[in-house]
Amino acid sequence: MRQSLSARARAIAAPTYEDFPLPPGAVDLRGDHAPSPVAGLLAEAWRSSAARTHELVTYSDPQGSLSLREEIAGRFSVKPDAVLVTAGASEAIMIALLLVADAGGRIALSRPGFPAYEQLARCIGLEVVSYDPAVPAAIQVGGLPSPPSAIVTVSPHNPTGFALEEAPGDGAARERPWSVRDISHAPEPLLGAGDWTDQEHDMLIFSFSKGLRIPALRVGCLIARDLETMRAATALKTHLSMAVSIPVQRFLLTLLRDPELPNLIRSQQQLYARNRLVITDAIRAANSLSLVGGEAGTHLVVRGRDREGEVALWSRLGHAGIGGLPGSVFAAPYACVRLSYGQTAADIDRSGTRIASL
Ligand SMILES: Cc1ncc(COP(=O)(O)O)c(C=O)c1O
């Protein structure tokens, strides 16, 4: 008989939407279903970036093609050397976690929080110190007697939609924790050049799959201006997935260079702002619900009044025609349900009426 699965493999959890089925007739607010802002550009960009056969029999530079890194670098006001093109932001998350602590080290993560951080951190033997995503993390964990090696912040936050400016840390302190900032839900990198270079952030993580709403693309990036960090990140990427394919990188480059992109992203942001208002107003109008976040991004968290349990709240929303995801998927320390308002305006209007009646 062979050995059993590793304890880490047995402990890993990766629930899918199918684990939380939609009741018949419910509006699906479990994930983002708004049309892609670049839907009208995809066919032509795909045609023009089709693989040339020699590209199918070769690897790309593991760090990413220079032309794509130059394009991304301009959007983060860094040099192309500071950009690592990754297989979605998911791969950048794994790389960042491997860079900032050894097994047995501590890392500060928000609860609730995007599940990949907590699942992968535990998998590689890190101890998690949790903080509330409504309050700057540095304030909550800065004074701990045994500070974490790294603080991860996600803003706009998934699942609560909080948008936080981090509190300034002590830039002069030599042993301050690493600061890893996940901005996968921020529109700025798709709108044009932005300055993210303030000293408090050692690494930025961004998802082009999310921002462009083309999850099949599997392209993200890790930005780190420190060359030693980037060298190690690139070495890790080489062993994790070697390289993002050349045709996919060219496809992304074509989309990023399209002069229409900023307008398309702005319209999408207007849709989200409008949807957010409909849903937050509906929650405030409901007698039995309260709102946790919902300032930016596409997600927010709702709680039941009177200490209602998670399963009861999730089922009650389902019966009212609202499909969400239970907060335990995000390690929430309280009973709640995540709702995504990244939907069509028509679906959000239907949802608003149903939520307000609860
Ligand atoms: C905060 C955050 N980071 C990273 C990711 C992963 O993005 P990708 O699909 O590019 O791997 C997600 C996906 O939902 C996310 O919400």
Q: Are residues 239 and 318 in the same domain?
A: no
Query: Given the CA of residue 91, which atom of ligand 1 is nearest to it?
Result: 11
| pLDDT tens track for 169-203 | 555 555 789 999 999 999 999 999 888 877 678 99
Q: Any idea which residue has 């901005």 for tokens?
A: 183
Query: Given the CA of residue 208, which atom of ligand 1 is nearest to it?
Result: 10
What does the pLDDT read at residue 180?
96
Q: Any idea which residue has 């890893």 for tokens?
A: 180
Strands 289-291 and 322-323: unpaired
What does the pLDDT read at residue 33?
95
User: Considering the domain boundaries, does residue 186 fall inside one?
Assistant: yes
Give yes or no for residue 224 having a pLDDT over 60.
yes
Q: How far is the CA of 88 from the centre of ligand 1 (A)?
A: 7
- The mean per-residue pLDDT over the stretch 263-275 comes to 97
Summary mean pLDDT of the chain: 94
What is the extent of the structural domain holding 290?
Answer: 7-38+262-356
Q: How far is the CA of 138 from the centre of ligand 1 (A)?
A: 23
Q: Which amino acid is at 86?
A: T
Query: Given the CA of residue 114, which atom of ligand 1 is nearest to it?
Result: 1
Q: How far is the CA of 295 from the centre of ligand 1 (A)?
A: 18
Q: Are residues 76 and 215 in the same domain?
A: yes
Last residue of one domain, picked from the residues 234, 257, 280: 257
What does the pLDDT read at residue 167?
59
Query: Given the CA of residue 215, which atom of ligand 1 is nearest to it?
Result: 9
Identify whether the C-beta of residue 358 lies closer than 8 Å to the C-beta of residue 286. yes
Name which residue sits closest to atom 3 of ligand 1, judged by CA.
184
Q: Are residues 311 and 245 in the same domain?
A: no
Identify whether the C-beta of residue 134 lies closer than 8 Å to the C-beta of residue 294. no
Copy the structure tokens of residue 218.
């599997």
Question: pTM (2 decimals)?
Answer: 0.96
Identify whether the C-beta of residue 339 lies closer than 8 Å to the C-beta of residue 289. no
Query: Given the CA of residue 219, which atom of ligand 1 is nearest to it?
Result: 10
Ramachandran quadrant class, 294 (left: phi over 0; alpha: psi -120 to 50; beta: rest): left
Q: Are residues 181 and 283 in the same domain?
A: no
| pLDDT tens track for 29-74 | 999 999 999 999 999 999 988 888 988 889 999 999 999 999 999 9
Q: How far is the CA of 118 from the centre of ligand 1 (A)?
A: 13
Last residue of one domain, picked from the residues 257, 277, 311: 257
Query: Given the CA of residue 207, which atom of ligand 1 is nearest to it?
Result: 10
Q: How far is the CA of 289 from the centre of ligand 1 (A)?
A: 28
Copy the structure tokens of residue 104.
């047995």
User: Considering the domain boundaries, does residue 120 fall inside one?
Assistant: yes
Q: How far is the CA of 58 from the centre of ligand 1 (A)?
A: 28
| pLDDT tens track for 133-178 | 999 888 888 778 888 999 999 999 999 999 987 655 555 555 789 9
Ramachandran quadrant class, 161 (left: phi over 0; alpha: psi -120 to 50; beta: rest): left
Read off the CATH number of the domain in which 291 is found: 3.90.1150.10
**Ligand 1 pocket list (CB less than 6 A):** 88-90, 114, 154, 158, 182, 184, 207, 209-210, 215, 220
User: Considering the domain boundaries, does residue 282 fall inside one?
Assistant: yes
Least confident of 136-150, 271-285, 296-310: 136-150
Q: How far is the CA of 180 from the centre of ligand 1 (A)?
A: 14
User: Considering the domain boundaries, does residue 297 fall inside one?
Assistant: yes
Count of domains in the chain? 2
Q: Are residues 143 and 286 in the same domain?
A: no
Helix (H) or strand (E) holding 318: helix 310-319
User: Considering the domain boundaries, does residue 63 fall inside one?
Assistant: yes
- Hey, which of 84, 114, 217 would you mutate to test ligand 1's pocket, going by the most ligand atoms within 8 Å of its Cβ? 114
Residue 276's nearest CA partner among 252, 301, 251 is 301
- Hey, which of 184, 203, 298 would you mutate to test ligand 1's pocket, going by the most ligand atoms within 8 Å of its Cβ? 184
User: Considering the domain boundaries, does residue 91 fall inside one?
Assistant: yes
Q: Are residues 229 and 85 in the same domain?
A: yes
d(CA 200, CA 155): 14
What does the pLDDT read at residue 199?
63
Q: What angle do CA 63, 298, 184 make, to 5 degrees?
A: 15
What does the pLDDT read at residue 142?
77
- The mean per-residue pLDDT over the stretch 310-314 comes to 97
Name which residue sits closest to atom 2 of ligand 1, judged by CA.
184
Q: Are residues 163 and 237 in the same domain?
A: yes
Q: How far is the CA of 279 from the centre of ligand 1 (A)?
A: 23
Query: Given the CA of residue 154, which atom of ligand 1 is nearest to it?
Result: 1
Q: Are residues 56 and 31 in the same domain?
A: no
Q: Are residues 103 and 187 in the same domain?
A: yes
Burial class (CB in 10 A: 0-12, 13-18, 19+), 258: middle
Q: 85 by DSSP, 3-state: which?
A: strand
What does the pLDDT read at residue 51?
80
Query: Given the CA of residue 93, which atom of ligand 1 is nearest to it?
Result: 4
| pLDDT tens track for 93-131 | 999 999 999 999 999 999 999 999 999 999 999 999 999
User: Considering the domain boundaries, does residue 2 fall inside one?
Assistant: no
Q: Are residues 222 and 288 in the same domain?
A: no
Confidence of residue 335 (pLDDT cuts 50, 70, 90): very high
Q: Are residues 186 and 83 in the same domain?
A: yes
Read off the CATH number of the domain in which 123 is found: 3.40.640.10
Q: Are residues 270 and 184 in the same domain?
A: no
Q: How far is the CA of 308 from the centre of ligand 1 (A)?
A: 29
What does the pLDDT read at residue 174?
53
Last residue of one domain, picked from the residues 202, 231, 257: 257
Sheet strands (E) in 170-236: 178-182, 203-207, 220-223
User: Considering the domain boundaries, does residue 158 fall inside one?
Assistant: yes
Q: How far is the CA of 357 from the centre of ligand 1 (A)?
A: 32
